[in-house]
Structure 1
Amino acid sequence: MSVGEAILRAVLVLVGFLVLPLVVGQSEHKVMAHMQGRLGPMEAGGFHGWAQLVADGVKFVQKEDIVPRAADGKIFRIAPVLAIVSYLAALAVIPLSPDLVGADVPASLVWVLAVGGVGTVGTLLAGWSSGNKYALLGAMRAAASLISYEVALILAAASFAIAAGSLSLAGIAHAWTPWWLIWQLPAAFVLLAAGTAELQRVPFDTPVADAEIVMGPYTEYTGLRFALFLLAEYAGIVVLSLLIAVLWLGGWTGPFDAHIGWLWTVLKAAIIVFVIIWMRVSWPRVRVDQLQRFTWLVLVPIALVQLLITAAGVVLWQ
């Protein structure tokens, strides 16, 4: 790869990283508004209030950046950056098509799982450094969620890797067949549930439960730093949706010209995004004990059984 091509790919990944989370955020606001019958702001920018998210971003930029006196200033400032950069590193290796990927690295699935968990570490640092009891409690909940759901997430991803005989996301997508929609359905369910929990999204948002602990790890954050945590959440949704689209839905595989394969990947990811938003609208927040019970008594056993089924299928049919 030439230097110019590497720079172009880096720019494309950065532009996508800045644009896609905003599109997801705007979509969530509008989808939730229609599902719940409360349309909210509809005037900003004209059609359907499309610029409301831009207005909210300007509002965050104008707010005062406050660092509490009791906080560990350096860690407090670094945490939001760490949370969002981890998803940028993950997005860089997820292929939209065979030729459209920021960095085609070996074992890209391992890379995504490794750096994706760093975002939760940013949340842990934010709560630990804030000098606030609610933030600390939220950070401990986030840490417990990371430890628990990371196990289920890795086991589910391993099922796809075993089925394809590859740790490369591109290799897994190339090995995909329509039979995977049924064969790997349990693994896809675990991947979606565990990934949503790691993003601390409803119904797994006990680390930031506003009714219990104000805003959890983000209680002391204001202005642009708080906005970075919100942007990191939407960036995480983009990464999770693209990952499921590549692993379970075949990525760029579609009925038409292969040159628009990237569009199939994006459309499949958009379906997963809608499901994640739908979950937020449909289910209430679970308790902390229910959060732990769900992963250890439901997701992990399903993932282990799926590993056995996948291994048996590989031995018998491949």
Structure 2
Amino acid sequence: MMPLLDVSVAEGLVAQSASILTLDNFWLSALLKILLCTVMLMVVSLVGGYLEHKAMGHLQNRTGPMEAGPHGSLQLVADGIKFVQKEDIVPRAADKLVFAVAPGVALVPALLGFLVIPIGPGVWAEDLEIGLFYALAIGSIGVLGILMGGWASANKFSLIGGIRAAAQLIAYELPLILAAAAVAVQAGSLSLVDIVESQATMSIFGTPVSMWFVFPQLLGFGIFVMAALAELSRPPFDMPIADSELVFGYMTEYTGIKFAMFLLTEYGGMIFMSGLITVLYLGGWQALPGVPLPGCEAAAGISDCGVWGTLLGVGITLGKIMALVFFMVWLRVAYPRLREDQLQKISWLVLIPLSLVNIAIVAIGKVAL
């Protein structure tokens, strides 16, 4: 009797089914991770926006928005509904395709950057071996959307704002990368998870020492924070917007949902950069240097924690992120906008030389210690 199914054919069908299952799991996993990052971007950005509204209000001795929700907590939700209902106006002389695509080009990198930010022990979408390189690269793409929007608007104020944003990227990308490279040298890894764990497991002359990188690299921390503010076009580095002279810079001609996407990009960028600073310099989800979270196994580093330890780690990370967001808001209230020549001089004559000195000191210390 002939067999109903040859053994080789059966093995081929099983292998094909396994590959299809793996492929489906890959796409399902990727979809869930992107969905998680989208939800995090929306929720945390709304919290950051609310913090900016209320913090600015109290710092300037005014109440701020109070009508929508308890203490004005739903104001940004109301603003989002308003933006959706507004008419989408496109200037007659604009490059319509580039004009329409630019907000998405600016927003998507802010979304994808969250894929590699660890927000708690074992809580991250991807632990890439080159996570730091990915984060810095993806964060640099957003300025292309700003430049596209400024050029495509057919408005001289928008064009000047876009050119200023490109000039800031060129000037401040160098100190940002050099400061981050110094962290990678000290941690001995480009993985953001490894960088967090190295701040709890580093050693000096063979002696285990738990120390956040902000302490040995205080200079690098200051350089990275200033460069990050310039990358985000946050005050006092907000010359690309400069509403007192450029109306609203590269966003002048945008209305409705496209304008809301640019605003969401700004808030999302604040959260992303604050998360990156937390991971690189502030110990990630560690509450205090040398103090493990409840349920963490000391032998397995600081990534294996129980449910309560994981939740506490996530809360600590988000608390640090919100503290950095508040610091950015305070700078907006406390300091005036820098002139374009001052902004460029700070980068080329101060930050870049200091960042070279910083990475040299860290490299020497890494070899010596």
- TM-score by length of structure 2 reads 0.83
Question: Which one of the candidate residues 215, 218, 224 is aligned to 2:248?
Answer: 215
Aligned to 2:348: 296
The CA deviation at 1:169 is: 0.6
Q: Which residue of 2 aligns with 1:43?
A: 67
Equivalent position amino acid for 1:269 in 2: I
Aligned to 1:127: 150
1:189 and 1:39 map into 2 onto residues whose CA distance is 32
Closer, same or farther: CA 6–69 of 1 in aligned 2, 3 Å? closer
**Displacement after TM superposition at 1:161 (Å):** 0.3
Q: 1:8, 1:59 → 2: CA distance? A: 29
Is the deviation greater in 181-190 or in 129-138? 181-190
Q: Please name the residue that 1:9 is paired with.
A: 33
Amino acid of the structure 2 residue aligned with 1:31: A
Matches within 5 A, 1:26-65: 26-45=50-69, 47-65=70-88
8 Å CA contact 2:183–2:213 kept in 1: the answer is: no
Q: Does residue 97 in structure 1 map to residue 120 in structure 2?
A: yes
Contact 2:213–2:280 (CA under 8 A) maintained in structure 1? no
Which residue of structure 1 lines up, in the alignment, with residue 285 of structure 2? Answer: 252
CA distance in 2, matches of 1:86, 1:6: 16
SS in 2 for 1:92: helix
Q: Does residue 189 of structure 2 align to residue 166 of structure 1?
A: yes
Distance 2:31 2:83 in 1: 31
Residue of structure 1 equivalent to 2:337: 285
Distance 1:221 1:179, change over 3 A: closer
Q: Which moved more, 1:72-81 or 1:52-61?
A: 52-61
- Once the two structures are superposed, the pairs formed by residues 265-280 of structure 1 within 5 Å of their partners are 265-280=317-332
| Aligned position for 1:307 | 359
Following the alignment from structure 2 to structure 1, what is the Cα–Cα distance between the partners of residues 163 and 315? 40
Counterparts of 1:60-139 in structure 2, within 5 Å, are 60-139=83-162
Counterpart code for 2:264:
L
Task: Say if 1:129 and 1:165 are closer, same or farther in 2 by CA, change over 3 A.
Answer: same
Shift of 1:118: 0.7
Quote the RMSD (CA, aligned, Å).
1.4
For residue 200 of structure 1, the aligned residue among 222, 226, 233 is 233
Amino acid at match of 1:72: D
Alpha-carbon distance in 2 for matches of 1:132, 1:105: 41
Deviation at 1:188, TM superposition (A): 1.1
Distance 1:179 1:230 in 2: 32
Which is further off, 120-129 or 55-64? 55-64
Partner of 2:304: none
CA offset at residue 114 of structure 1?
0.4
One-letter amino acid matched to 2:323: I
Unaligned runs of at least 5 residues, structure 2? 1-21, 200-209, 295-308
Per-residue Cα deviation, 1:194-231 (whole angstroms, up to 9, x for no partner): 11111111100011101111111111111110110000
In the alignment, the residues of structure 2 paired with residue 180 and residue 57 of structure 1 have an alpha-carbon distance, to the nearest angstrom, of 38
2:88 partner SS: coil
**Structure number with larger C-alpha Rg:** 2
Distance, in Å, in 2 between the alignment partners of 1:272 and 1:43 is 27
What's the CA shift for 1:8? 3.6
Query: Could you tell me how far apart the structure 2 residues matched to 1:41 and 1:171 are?
Result: 42
- How many angstroms apart in 2 are the aligned matches of 1:76 and 1:230? 16
The alpha carbon displacement at 1:302 in A equals: 1.7
Output the CA distance in 1 between the equivalents of 2:196 and 2:338: 34
Unaligned 5+ runs, structure 1? none
Q: How many residues align?
A: 316
Amino acid at match of 2:172: Y
Partner of 1:142: 165
